[in-house]
Structure 1
Amino acid sequence: MSRVMSEVSGHLGRGSPQNSVMNCFFWVLLVVSMTSLVFVAEATLPIPAPNIPEQCNSIQNCCMPSPYTGTAGIRLFEFEPNQPWRTRRPAHLLSQFELDRLERAYDLLRALPDSDPRSLLNQKNLHCLYCNNALYYPGQKYPLEIHNGWYFLPWHRMFLYWHERIIAKVLNDSTFALPFWAWDNQQDTNPPSNVIPPQYTNPNSSLYDPIRNNCSLVNPYVDFDTRGGICTNKTADYMRVQNDRLMYTQLVVGSPTPALFYGQPYYFGDFGGKGPGTFEDSPHGAVHAWVGDPYAQPPYEVLDDMGNFQRSAYDPVFYAHHSNVDRIWNLWLNIPGGVRTHPMSKAFNQSQFTFYDENANLVKMNVSHVLDSDLLRYKFEDFPAPWITNGVKAGKENTVALCNPISASAVNSLISKTPKHGSKDQINVTIPYTFKVGRPAKSRKGTEVLEFSGISIPNATANVDLKVYLFYPQALSNSTAWCPEYVGAWDFIPHIGQADYNPKRLWRVAVGPKLKQIGKDYVKSIVVTVVQTTAPPGQNITFDKARIFYDLSPRVTL
């Protein structure tokens, strides 16, 4: 900047006195412009690799062992093309040899001393360190935030990559691969895949965690549409259909672009938690909450272990769960339709995070290092994913009967009598909130997106769970994703150490594809119904604005 100003000064300094006013005016414009450029550059910087454990400020004792005793410095990760291929298999289909090896692995991790960053305790702490706002960079007001934004998927891939390498090291078996818990597969098979894998429920196994939801034993089928581990009396057949439809809405119809799937951009120094991608909230978050114990007693917290950032990685099923999240990320990239790729931002690709490798030495990885799992030398065994076609035969995805089948004239009547959103309108637990939003002019480019901005939560220490429907004003808090009118879910999960609540938080979901799915792409306005499923008394949510716009990602950063 100083060099540019010096060159401009030499160019302008030889003017006549009559030009002094113009020169002064130019300098003001130049300084303002250059300051703005510097501000923009700083506002879009990548995340630098944190120095752990020195930058830890955890109030939950999540800091890593100190003093650090590994090799001096933090090395930059390099690909190792000579590593053997590792194949991640469905957890419920493991051979006896693979089961014995997995149990031995977690026996060994539990036995490592607390001074070893590779121990299961410290793997839990590392997840807590990054996920419970315990890392503060010097001079920064806000802590690092991994969730509720576009780093959620790549950071967890890094975490699992090193966890897998650590296990391979302690087992002295370079072929070891983490299994994946295929909870996304709803097929009626024996053994079923959408229950906690049996080996993780054996009290005599190192894979067992006693702090879990008893519902997983009473009704073992995972319910993607429950909140806070609440038990359900839904039948297995009902949940299979419901779960497929929820997955289809969240991952196929609701997130055909990277901006929707990955979540909001997050740059160095930002106030984190701007807005999650559709996958992070549900089903990923729903599975966490379903496994956690809603009745956990002190010294544990409600929803421990899997339902809280602090302790979730202490349950071995966490790693099978996130192995499946990682697998579904790969599946999403290959779903037909949309532009299913990664964010193109340099800040996204160049952001770095620090981990402990299999030798307990510090290593930093760029996000760009983990965008192609083949380069990391692991792959997933092929396994069915019927949710990609809405749980029905391909080509029949949009033939599912509506919960509110109404004629075109009734649709127009509903639109005309529905009010627009008011910034003081509230979403409470007992009464669904219905309003209308106008659609922009039709465009051949991009995807129509519904956005809620300025979401306000009176009690930011309590969970918030919202479900949204189109043209279904009768929806109630117990309405489920079974209905094709379901357009998506938005969750807020408070956690200790968070830097308050981000008032600029957004929620976005694709509505263009959903309108086509339910046969209402012809309308000029949409009718939106929001229901709040769980909240303490008086938790009345408001938001500033609802709008529909065209998402042009990946070339445009939203």
Structure 2
Amino acid sequence: MAGFREHSGCRWNFGLVGMILVMVMVKFTSAVPIPAPDLPDNCNSEERCCMPRPYRGKPVRQFEYDPTLPVRFRRAAHLIDEEYIAKLERGVKLQRELPDTDPRSWTNQMNLHCLYCDNGLYYPNQTWPLEVHNGWLFLPWHRMFMYFNERILAKLLDDDTFALPFWNWDNQTPEEPHANILPYFYARNKTSSLWNKNRNNCSEPPLTIDLNTEGGCTTKTPEELRIQNNRLIYTQIVTGAPTSNLFFGMPYSYGDAGATGAGTFEDNPHGTVHFWLGDPNPEKPAGPFDDMGNFGVAARDPAFYGHHVNIDRIWTIWKTLPGAQRKEPTHPDFLDAQFTFYDENADLVIVNVSQTLNRTLLRYEYEEMPAAWTTNGELAGQENNVTLCNPATAAETTAMIGAADYFSPDTVFFKDPITFRVARPAVRNSTGVEVLEFSGVDFAEPSMQVHWRSYLFYPTAVTGTSAACPEFAGAYNYVAHPGMAIFKGRNRKWRVALDSKLVALGKQNLSDIVVTLAQFGPTIQPVQFAKVEITYDTS
């Protein structure tokens, strides 16, 4: 694990005037947008993910929309025909054949993801590396990574209409062809450019995806998985994330430690799909859960792109869900944050986050697919017509609350589930969303994974309790990665919305709530929280 470090000799793309301006802003204001990294020089990757040197392209430029591009139509992977598959295979084959000196090559695109996502980028005189995960940069960065990868393939194929397909794993429709399995063309032919050797055997088609796992196999039936998956996504994205901060993650400005809190979507299902596909026991020199389960090599698997195009698609769906607060953050430190990419001509381009928010201007659209998870797998208007796993009368609920102690920061959350109660604010903020907030999240060993599930009014919930239960309130995934700076010293938070869940449980009028946490996954370790409280999110 990397400790506190300072790195010199790194450059920004601002020039001298821009650097002086940023230094002044850092001194006199509390927040500054993340500046564009200087590629390839701004690199201190422990995994040697640096981009090719020397840079041979045109001088770095600011990204501009191209209104002359045809609108690309991204299709569901389980429905594309053999001609489309052959074109995708050919494009990836051509990309794999590019030399290592070309930043557009398959290996270098994997390295670019590694560089940003495994903390290989340091700014001058800064303790902390750039963090793309676990905060509000996660979704816009990956949108543009998909955008430029798609444009690179289009260039190699000489076809500006080419679009990446999306792996429609959120679609639990039982009819064939099944969307919620790994698309066959990623796995059917070991000589295909789309095949990858480091995958979990239990993720191979025709096995149904399990969004309530962290790798390994399942004994659940396809029908059980369909019900569970719909309800889990509903909890994570619909009820758990009705505001920008809950969906995108915590704010992140220049000079911050970063990684202070992922959005509910990044935790699960995004992270769970990665782990479900990664091989728990690959052949050496690969590590556990390679490729998809590790940031540094995730983009080596062609399925990574199908997965992340679907992540981008779900972002577009989230904005259409009921609720006035389902929109992107409006803070300048979000909108003016910058990334640096290589375009289809291998030239460097700076992109502002504000330029990532309008798909119409980026010239791509999505094929419409069923999304039963938006209504909890039920008919619209009947989202709460699901039998409770822990039904309780009013008297039993009162006794349940009385039996639970208020949360204490001395509590150590480890192998056994913990249950405690939290007082709700006496005065409601009518303009905000009620949020269960864990702050000062601290791990005994930050180099190990941590995963837990939370439940409301279900004190007997254990590690194996189903996420299909209405009492399931949200899942947390912490993924350690080699380049991350030391975890200590960050006020990391985990947050989920309460309003809709309490209504579904019929407990919206109670003054206290009962919370149960249960760890699961390949590693379990002691966890502590500085504070657990109920706040209001007005983002």
Q: What TM-score results when the alignment is normalised by the length of structure 1?
A: 0.90
| CA–CA separation in structure 2 for the residues paired with 1:186 and 1:264 | 30
Residue number among 278, 283, 290 corresponding to 1:292 in the alignment: 278
Q: Is 1:250 aligned to 2:252, yes or no?
A: no
In structure 2, what is the equivalent of residue 60 of structure 1?
A: 47
Q: Which blocks of at least 5 consecutive residues in structure 1 are unaligned?
A: 1-36, 554-558
What is the letter of the counterpart of residue 102 of structure 1? L
**TM-aligned CA deviation for residue 74 of structure 1:** 1.1
Which residue does the alignment assign to 1:530? 517
In 1, the alpha carbon distance for the partners of 2:376 and 2:60 equals: 45
Match of 1:540 in 2: 526
SS at match of 1:397: coil
Structure 2 counterparts to residues 98-137 of structure 1, below 5 A? 98-137=84-123
Match of 2:16 in 1: none
Equivalences for residues 10-25 of structure 1 within 5 A: none
Q: Does 2:356 correspond to 1:378?
A: no
Question: Identity percentage over the alignment?
Answer: 50
Bigger Rg over Cα: 1
CA deviation after TM superposition for structure 1 residue 158, in Å: 0.7
Q: Is the Cα–Cα contact under 8 Å of residues 75 and 164 in structure 2 kept in the other structure? A: yes
Alignment match, 1:20? none
Once residues 25 and 358 of structure 2 are traced to their aligned partners in structure 1, the CA distance between those partners, rounded to angstroms, is 33
- What is the Cα deviation at residue 96 of structure 1? 1.8
Instruction: Report which of the two has the higher share of helix.
Output: 1
SS in structure 1 opposite 2:527? coil
What is the TM-score with the length of structure 2 in the denominator? Answer: 0.94
Q: Tell me the residue number matched to 2:14.
A: none
Instruction: Report the 3-state secondary structure (helix = DSSP H, G, I; strand = E; otherwise coil) of the residue aligned with 2:517.
Output: strand
The CA distance in 2 between the partners of 1:337 and 1:367, in whole Å, is: 23
How much does 1:216 deviate? 1.2
Among 265, 268, 272, the alignment partner of 1:282 is: 268
- CA offsets, 1:289-333, max 9 Å, x none? 000000113210110011100100011110000000000000000
Residue of structure 1 equivalent to 2:162? 176
Deviations 1:363-388 (A, max 9, x none): 01000001111110000011111100
Whole-Å separation in 2 of the counterparts to 1:338 and 1:428: 38
1:369 and 2:382 matched: no
Q: Does structure 2 retain, via aligned residues, the 8 Å contact 1:250–1:279?
A: yes
Please state whether the residue corresponding to 2:442 is helix, strand or coil.
coil
RMSD: 1.3
Superposed displacement of residue 288, structure 1: 0.3
Deviation at 1:337, TM superposition (A): 2.4
> Which residue of structure 1 lines up, in the alignment, with residue 129 of structure 2?
143
Secondary structure in 2 aligned to 1:305? coil
Q: Is the 8 A contact 1:201 1:208 kept in 2?
A: yes
- Structure 2: how far apart are the matches of 1:462 and 1:64? 28
Q: CA deviation at 1:40?
A: 7.8
Aligned partner of 1:236 in structure 2 is: 222
| One-letter code aligned to 1:226 | T
CA contact (8 A) 2:25 2:32 kept: no
Q: Following the alignment from structure 1 to structure 2, what is the Cα–Cα distance between the partners of residues 101 and 433?
A: 52
Structure 1 pair 387/295, CA: closer, same or farther in 2 (3 Å)? same
**Residue 451 of structure 2, aligned match among 465, 479, 500:** 465
**Greater CA deviation, 375-384 or 332-341?**
332-341
Q: 2:417 pairs with 432, 436, 444, which one?
A: 432
Q: State the secondary structure of the residue aligned to 2:384.
A: helix
Could you list the per-position Cα deviations for residues 220-274 of structure 1 after superposition, in whole angstroms to 9, with x for gaps in the alignment?
11100001x1211110000000000000000000000111000000101110110
**Residue 42 (structure 1) shift:** 4.1
The 3 A distance-change label for structure 1 pair 398 and 41 is farther
Q: Which moved more, 1:177-186 or 1:412-421?
A: 412-421
Q: Choose the corresponding residue for 1:510, options 497, 507, 512.
A: 497
Q: How does 1:333-352 map to 2 (within 5 A)?
A: 333-352=319-338
Q: Which residue of 1 aligns with 2:195?
A: 208
Question: How many pairs align?
Answer: 513
Unaligned segments of structure 2, at least 5 residues? 1-23
- Asked whether the 8 Å contact 1:43–1:269 carries over to 2, the reply is no
The residue type paired with residue 417 of structure 2 is P
Confirm or deny that 1:92 pairs with 2:78: yes
Q: Give the counterpart letter for 2:36 in structure 1.
A: A
Take 2:237 and 2:202, find their aligned partners in 1: how far apart are those partners? 26
**Secondary structure at the residue paired with 2:436?**
strand
